[in-house]
Amino acid sequence: MTHPIIIIGTGLAGYQLAREFRKIDQTSPLMLITADEGRFYSKPLLSTALTSGKNADTLTTATANTMAEQLNAVIKTHSLVTHIDPITKTIGIGEESIPYSKIVLACGADVVKAPLTGNAVDQVMSVNHLHHYATFQELIKNKKNITILGAGLIGCEFANDLCNAGYEVHVIAPAKAPLDLLIPSSVGKLLQQALAQQGIRWHLECIAHEVNKAPNGYRLTLSNGQHLDTDLILSAIGLVPHIALAKTARIKTQRGIVVNRYLETSVKEIYALGDCAEVEGHVLPYIAPLLNCSRALAKTLAGTNTMVEYPAMPVMVKTPTHPLAICPPPKGMPGDWQIEIENNNVRALFYNEARQLQGFVLTNDAVKERMNLAKQLPALF
């Protein structure tokens, strides 16, 4: 019997790849390994679960045992892979050594730790996995005031979700407006205003320096000298691809695990996809790129080498108070935004110097135009 293809990670990337592979090859040995319980769920739903009345159990759509049966695969849960040896073609889990035929790294991303001092730093939360959400939901019971660090996608989505659930929400960020890395500040300010009308309080152009325990929760000291008392702190300042495991095999890494369009790493028969992967220089921690990668890589693993394609892929921001669809232009591209605002509907189009459409931001009713506009954009590759 040949050694298995091993997928490290049972998030959306790992499970989606396994499903796509089984559509083509129903019998080759397949093993998935995860450090947690291996439950199948949709990670993007974590930042809207309160509004929809979901908890960790109801977000789960299948257990590891169910997935193992569906995928005709071995799934090893609560198993932390500590190293990969490409010479012997084995991976290590503690003292156990497991041989492989091919490996796929689908190990996701790690949260960026907020640069805080104080005696309560270890009590600042982040939600990056299902078990984090279960802990978070338990901790916010009987709380009234939640402070979020960060005004990017996840920070804004959690702010809207917590507000919908009746919490007083504060958001602290160094930017002049929310989503500043993705959209024009004038459009970000409209999102800020819409969420402020729902009760969210913004503390922009500053950061939290210090967090200390207080009689009824925590006290944050901000860089502008202000203090903020809160019941709980959620850090959402960003994610970085998980590359530590790849480094044990001396795989080339930059921001993420460097792969080509076949999702091949610099080491033979080791691949990567999802939030940990840097595909032709692009780190895109969104669903559409992941789905494209899983379909292409499944074909490659089954014997038909297939390059992944990245068309223009709009991202829906889950802020129901002020919905947005965004497709940012390439970073550093010369050009300008043309912004139309009508009845709080924004249509912001980015044109390069040759007057070619390269990106867009749409809000509210204008969001309906996203797929038509996406067809007008050049593919990434």
What local confidence, expressed as pLDDT, does residue 175 receive?
Answer: 97
Q: Are 11 and 46 in contact (CB under 8 A)?
A: no
Class of domain 5-110+239-301: alpha beta
Q: Are 279 and 315 in contact (CB under 8 A)?
A: no
CA distance 375 to 42: 27
Classify burial at 368, counting beta carbons within 10 Å of its beta carbon; exposed 0-12, middle 13-18, buried 19 or more. Answer: exposed
CATH of domain 113-235: 3.50.50.60
List, edge to edge, every strand of the sheet that includes 96-99: 83-85, 90-93, 96-99
What digits encode the pLDDT tens for the residues 302-352?
999 999 999 999 999 999 999 999 999 998 999 999 999 998 899 999 999
What digits encode the pLDDT tens for the residues 57-66?
999 999 999 9
Report the share of the chain in percent with pLDDT over 70: 100
Q: Are 214 and 229 in contact (CB under 8 A)?
A: yes
Cα-Cα-Cα-Cα dihedral of 178, 122, 276, 273, to 10°?
-100
Q: 164 CB contacts (<8 Å, ≥6 apart)?
A: 50, 51, 198, 320, 321
1 pLDDT tier (thresholds 50, 70, 90) = low
Q: Are 233 and 220 in contact (CB under 8 A)?
A: yes
For 339, phi then psi, to 5°, come to: -115, 125
CA-wise closest residue to 242 among 102, 335, 48, 108: 108
Q: Mean pLDDT over all residues of the chain?
A: 97
What digits encode the pLDDT tens for the residues 134-166?
999 999 999 999 999 999 999 999 999 999 999
CA-wise closest residue to 93 among 110, 104, 74, 77: 77
For 219, phi then psi, to 5°, come to: -120, 125
What local confidence, expressed as pLDDT, does residue 344 receive?
Answer: 80
pLDDT greater than 90 at residue 255: yes
- The domains of the chain are located at 5-110+239-301, 113-235, 323-376
What digits encode the pLDDT tens for the residues 80-126?
999 999 999 999 999 999 999 999 999 999 999 999 999 999 999 99
> DSSP secondary structure string, 7-31?
EE--SHHHHHHHHHHHHH-SSS-EE
User: The CATH number of 323-376 is which of 3.30.390.120, 3.30.565.10, 3.10.180.10, 3.40.50.2300?
Assistant: 3.30.390.120
pTM equals: 0.95
CA dihedral over 100, 80, 113, 274, signed as positive or negative: positive
What local confidence, expressed as pLDDT, does residue 343 receive?
Answer: 83
Distances (CA, A) of 82 to 10, 33, 85, 248, 285: 16, 12, 10, 8, 24
Residue range 249-275: mean pLDDT, rounded? 98
261 pLDDT tier (thresholds 50, 70, 90) = very high
- Tokens representing residue 316 in the block: 């829906």
Fold: same for 5-110+239-301 and 323-376: no
What local confidence, expressed as pLDDT, does residue 105 receive?
Answer: 98
What digits encode the pLDDT tens for the residues 178-225?
999 999 999 999 999 999 999 999 999 999 999 999 999 999 999 999
Between helix 287-301 and helix 12-24 the angle, nearest 10°, is 40
CA-based end-to-end distance of the chain: 38
